[in-house]
Chain A
Amino acid sequence: MDLRFTDEQLQFQADVRAWITSNLDRPWSEHVADARHTPDSLVEVRRQWQKKLHEAGFLGMGWPEEWGGRGATEVEQALFEAEIHRADCPQVPNFLGIGLLGPALIHHGTEDQRRRFIPPMLSCDEIWCQGFSEPSSGSDLASLRTRAEPDGEDFRITGQKVWTTFGPWANWIFVLARTDLEDRYGGISFFLVPIDQAGVEMRPIRQITGESEFGEVFFDGALARREHLVGKPGEGWRIAMTVLGYERGAATLSNPAQYDGYLHDLIAGVRAQGDLERADVREKLGRLIVENEVMRSNGLRTLANLAAGQAPGPESSIEKILWSEFAQRQSDAALELLGPQAQLAPTSRDARGGVDWAYEYLWSRAGTIYSGSSEIQRNIIAKRVLGMPTR
């Protein structure tokens, strides 16, 4: 066993930390608490932050050099993500583009597609959104019905996508659509579609937090060019499923790092209000600390396996459930321990500052739904890891 980072890796971590200190003018939580901001101006903050990260060479770090990468290892990517999450930075607008579409283009796209789309994706001159889910196809994604019909060389897309994160600000959408109505998996293709065209309508949807970060997209004969088909017709499902498995290392340490910051905020709040010596409070806090540390141990195990060139084991398939369900318990405890002040809007003059626990509480409900709900994750563990049969 060896869970130690090398001196080089630690140096890299220190460099990232120093870079963040000198480049993050204002923590994200302060922006959020600033009543002068609008949803659009907050997105602009995020866009500027992404530009800075890109200019410093921190985005797409694991990609080949010509696509902005620096051949970074899984460990370096994980350390970078951990530092970013620890430091209360804005989230980059193009996280879905960089996380999913980038790898899809690198592994399955054409040279022209990479050249055309990757640079503006990294620089945030174009924002991408992900058009997979439909009103009748969420967990059962392969039942999707949006159609792509040939129109000469090109395709015309008709149907509806929904829960499209960042859709209201996006310029492009990557879409799974049917080129064959019969073949459940083999009939799905992967398209890159510009949103600013006749035949595409994007409507924001209001979320339980009150913001409208996602939307629904109506396609009515929207044009998707032949050269914007990724892979061959019918390869869309396979591409979509394999990209989910790339760059697995990057997220192994980021959630515990972020929750370190959150727990620090919670403990400081509890201490300030004079409750830290209460036995019931200590047990609650202690349990959260234990669970977060166990997640970090589990992430280090995944990372170590990846770094040693091994396929990640069962510990990696449980990660999504661990962090998403922990986040609910954590914010639940925070609202209980900090009392009603923690429910105040961050822009309120009487808000406590620091972590916006009311927002985290609501937002934590999403984590167990998106990217494969907790139930779907458990189905997958039962079938693929434990080998339990289907009825």
Chain B
Amino acid sequence: MQFDLDDDRELLRSSTRDLLEAEAPLAQTRSLMEDAADGYSKAFFGQLAELGYFGLLLSEEEGGAAMGAVGLAAVLTEMGRVALPGPFLESVMAAELLRRAEGEAAAGLLRRLLGGEALVVWADREGLAGAEPGPTETRLESGRIRGQKTFVPFGAQADALLVTTTGGVALVARPDAGWASTALPTLDHAQRFVRIELDGPAELLTLSDAALDEVRRLGSLGAAATLLGLMDRSLEITLAYMAEREAFGAPLASFQALQHRAADMLMKTETTRSAVFRAAWASDEGEPDAAFLVAVAKAWAGDAARRVCGEAIQMHGGVGYTWEYDPHVYLKRVKTLESFHGSTRAQIEAALERAPIAAE
């Protein structure tokens, strides 16, 4: 048995950390939140493409790195630590859909996605109200797609969308006039969600429901891994602040009330690490309980990260409530990831349904 990453994945993890520190540190996340219309650095994503990051899960024959879900989780944990903005997980998920689809259109788009020439995201959700996605009503009829998708991540910038319709997933290229999209600005200032009206040509992809579930599950796992990174770094930032800030003539870190809460933050973070990497490993190995373990990891990570990143603000005091300090950046991303890729409540229900001990 071995919990640690193997050499290849450890190298991937550490080189990802180095890359992010050099090219996409938190300071850059901050300035992208403020200024960039796109919400992320296309230049950095070009670099990621060049380094093969979008093909992490593809086999070597497909031109990928075959790092599996464990490798992806390691990368996303690092990205969470700098709250990297941009459609990374979305791109990986789109690649996973495209590789499962047959036909030249999908294969061609996959090549462009991997090469960083095309941004492709999955427009899966409909409905605005409620914690869970609404029913799919978007239709594809005689080569024409009609409907409305909500909370499409980075949809306005996408070169192509993979759209869930009543009849399956359709590939839609960006119309010449651009998408008929409306921005959905959320509390997470680094997100670029849009609502998109679809009324134009589209092509149905051959994708089974099982394939969609697999890719959704990958999204849940990826979100959980990102949440892990967010809380890991929030705890570090908070410990550093508490060591340095003094009150009543002593560092905050010496107050027992805060020590116990820091211990709870550590527990949340480390249990999430255990849950995320076990779920990733089980996914790679095709273990029968992989889907259950992913639901467990996402449900746990969402709650844990919200607590840890909320505590980070509390322990910073007044400065924790300022735009200038970093804790809010983390909490905001947590709120996004908690709500999408299977809400916490939906994952709890999935865990109950799949739990071996709950069987009759």
A199 within 8 A of B: no
Interface pair B357/A378, CB less than 8 Å apart: no
Chain A min CB distance to B242 (Å): 7
B259 within 8 A of A: yes
Question: Contacts of A293 on B, CB cut-off 8 Å?
Answer: 275, 292-293, 296, 351, 355
Interface pair A304/B1, CB less than 8 Å apart: yes
In Å, the complex CA distance between A377 and B293 comes to 28
Interface pair A315/B271, CB less than 8 Å apart: yes
Total A-B Cβ pairs within 8 A: 162
A260-B357, A391-B250 are contacts. A382–B259 as well, Cβ < 8 Å? Answer: yes
B2 within 8 A of A: yes
Complex: chain A residue closest to B253, CB-CB? A388
Interface pair A1/B296, CB less than 8 Å apart: no
In chain A, residues 293-326, which have Cβ atoms closer than 8 Å to a Cβ of chain B? 293-295, 297-298, 300-301, 303-305, 307-308, 310, 313-315, 318, 321-322
In Å, the complex CA distance between A263 and B2 comes to 29
A291 within 8 A of B: yes
Known A-B contacts: A303-B1, A304-B1. Give 4 more (CB < 8 A). A1-B277, A282-B348, A293-B296, A388-B243
Interface pair B263/A298, CB less than 8 Å apart: no
A334 within 8 A of B: no
B6, B275, B293: which contacts A1 (Cβ < 8 A)?
B6
In Å, the complex CA distance between A379 and B346 comes to 35
Chain A min CB distance to B286 (Å): 12
Interface pair A322/B267, CB less than 8 Å apart: yes
Q: Would you call the interface of chain A mostly helix, strand, loop, or mixed?
A: helix
Interface pair A381/B266, CB less than 8 Å apart: yes
A182 within 8 A of B: no
Interface pair A308/B270, CB less than 8 Å apart: no
In chain A, residues 266-284, which have Cβ atoms closer than 8 Å to a Cβ of chain B? 267, 271, 282-283
A263-B357, A289-B355, A382-B260 are contacts. A318–B293 as well, Cβ < 8 Å? Answer: no
Interface pair A386/B300, CB less than 8 Å apart: no
A289-B358, A314-B266 are contacts. A301–B259 as well, Cβ < 8 Å? Answer: no
B70, B250, B352: which contacts A285 (Cβ < 8 A)?
B352
Complex: chain B residue closest to A268, CB-CB? B360
Question: Contacts of B345 on A, CB cut-off 8 Å?
Answer: 283
B20 within 8 A of A: no
Chain B min CB distance to A124 (Å): 32
Chain B min CB distance to A12 (Å): 14
Interface pair A378/B263, CB less than 8 Å apart: yes
B264 within 8 A of A: yes
Q: List 27 A–B pairs whose Cβ atoms lie within 8 Å, in order of A's numbering.
A: A1-B2, A1-B70, A2-B2, A4-B285, A263-B357, A286-B351, A287-B299, A290-B296, A293-B293, A297-B278, A297-B296, A298-B270, A298-B271, A298-B274, A300-B1, A301-B3, A301-B278, A305-B3, A307-B1, A308-B2, A315-B270, A315-B274, A322-B267, A381-B266, A382-B263, A386-B262, A389-B254
Chain A min CB distance to B53 (Å): 20
Please tell me the size bucket of the interface on A: 35 or more
Question: Contacts of B3 on A, CB cut-off 8 Å?
Answer: 1, 3, 300-301, 304-305, 308
Most chain A CB atoms below 10 A, which of B4, B256, B355: B355
Interface pair B358/A294, CB less than 8 Å apart: no
Interface pair A297/B275, CB less than 8 Å apart: yes
Most chain A CB atoms below 10 A, which of B6, B292, B296: B296
In Å, the complex CA distance between A307 and B2 comes to 7
Question: Contacts of B263 on A, CB cut-off 8 Å?
Answer: 318, 321, 377-378, 381-382, 385-386
Chain A min CB distance to B41 (Å): 31
What sequence of 0s and 1s flags, for each residue 324-355 of chain B, a beta carbon within 8 Å of any chain A beta carbon? 00000000000000000000010111011001
A5, A315, A378, A389: which contacts B260 (Cβ < 8 A)?
A378
A308-B4, A388-B262 are contacts. A291–B357 as well, Cβ < 8 Å? Answer: no
In Å, the complex CA distance between A308 and B124 comes to 42
A2, A5, A287, A375: which contacts B348 (Cβ < 8 A)?
A287
Interface pair B357/A375, CB less than 8 Å apart: no
A290, A304, A313, A379: which contacts B351 (Cβ < 8 A)?
A290
Complex: chain A residue closest to B358, CB-CB? A267
Chain A min CB distance to B288 (Å): 12
Question: Contacts of B254 on A, CB cut-off 8 Å?
Answer: 388-391
B281 within 8 A of A: yes
In Å, the complex CA distance between A4 and B281 comes to 10
B243, B271, B281: which contacts A294 (Cβ < 8 A)?
B271
Question: Contacts of B271 on A, CB cut-off 8 Å?
Answer: 294-295, 297-298, 315, 318, 322
B321 within 8 A of A: no
B255 within 8 A of A: yes
